[in-house]
Structure 1
Amino acid sequence: MGINFDLNDLQAFRAVVELGSFRKAAEAVNISQPALSRRIDKLEEALGVRLFERTTRSVTLTTVGRVFAPSAEQLLDDLDVALLGIRDVSSSRLGHVTIACVPSVAYYFLPGAVASYHRRFPRIRVKILDSSANDVLAAVISGEADFGVSFMGSQEPDVEFKMLLQERFVAACRRDHPLARKKRVTWNELYEHEYVSVDKTSGNRLLLDQALGAVSPRMPSVCETRHVTTMLGLVEAGLGVAAVPSMAMPGRNHHILTSVPLVEPVVKRRVGIVRRRGRPLTPAAQEFHKTIVEMRHGAAASGDTSDDDASLKKRPGRKTSS
Structure 2
Amino acid sequence: MSISYRNMLAFIRVAESATFAEAAEKLHLTQPALSSAIKKMEEQLGGKLFSRSTRRVSLTPEGQTLLPNAKRLVNEWDETFHDMQNLFAMQQGKLTIAAMPSFAESKLPALLNDYHRKFNNIRLRVLDVVMEATIDNVLQGNAEIGFTFEPEIADGLIFKPLFTDEFIAVMYPGHPLAMQDTVPWHELLSHPFIAMNRGSAVRRWTEQAAQGPGQLNIIAETGQLGSVGQFIAQGMGISVVPAICRQQMESRGLLCCAIKDNPLKKPVGMIRSQRGGLSVAAGEFWQLCERAYTRSENNSL
TM-score in terms of structure 2 length: 0.70
Structure 1 position 122, deviation (Å): 1.2
Match of 1:266 among 254, 263, 266: 263
Q: Secondary structure at 1:177's aligned position in 2?
A: coil
Q: Deviation per CA, 1:129-184, whole angstroms, max 9, x where unpaired? A: 11111111111111111111100325312111110000111110122211111132
* Rounded Cα–Cα distance in structure 1 between residues aligned with 2:159 and 2:69: 45
**Structure 2 equivalent of residue 126 of structure 1:** 124
In the alignment, structure 2 segments of 5+ residues that lack a partner are 10-67
Structure 1 position 296, deviation (Å): 2.2
**Structure 1 equivalent of residue 72 of structure 2:** 45
**Structure 1 equivalent of residue 138 of structure 2:** 140
Alignment length (residue pairs): 237
| Within-5 A mapping of 1:208-219 | 208-217=206-215, 219=217
Contact 2:161 2:269 in 1 (8 A): yes
CA root-mean-square deviation: 3.0
Larger Rg: 2
Q: Deviation per CA, 1:28-87, whole angstroms, max 9, x where unpaired? A: xxxxxxxxxxxxx98982179xx9xxxxxxxxxxxxxxxx9xxx59x955x468x6xxxx
| Within-5 A mapping of 1:19-58 | 45-46=72-73
* Rounded Cα–Cα distance in structure 2 between residues aligned with 1:189 and 1:210: 16
* Rounded Cα–Cα distance in structure 1 between residues aligned with 2:173 and 2:289: 34
**Structure 2 equivalent of residue 192 of structure 1:** 190
Q: Which letter maps to 2:292? A: M
| Within-5 A mapping of 1:80-229 | 89-90=89-90, 93-153=91-151, 155-217=153-215, 219=217, 221-229=218-226
Q: Secondary structure at 2:178's aligned position in 1?
A: helix
Q: Deviation per CA, 1:220-246, whole angstroms, max 9, x where unpaired? A: x22100111110111112111111011
* Rounded Cα–Cα distance in structure 1 between residues aligned with 2:74 and 2:147: 40
Distance 1:170 1:43, change over 3 A: farther
TM-score in terms of structure 1 length: 0.65
* Rounded Cα–Cα distance in structure 2 between residues aligned with 1:162 and 1:185: 31
Contact 2:139 2:157 in 1 (8 A): yes
Distance 1:254 1:135, change over 3 A: closer
* Rounded Cα–Cα distance in structure 1 between residues aligned with 2:248 and 2:113: 21
Identity of matched residues, %: 24
Contact 1:97 1:126 in 2 (8 A): yes
Establish whether residue 238 from structure 1 lines up as the match of residue 253 from structure 2.
no
Q: Which letter maps to 1:284? A: A
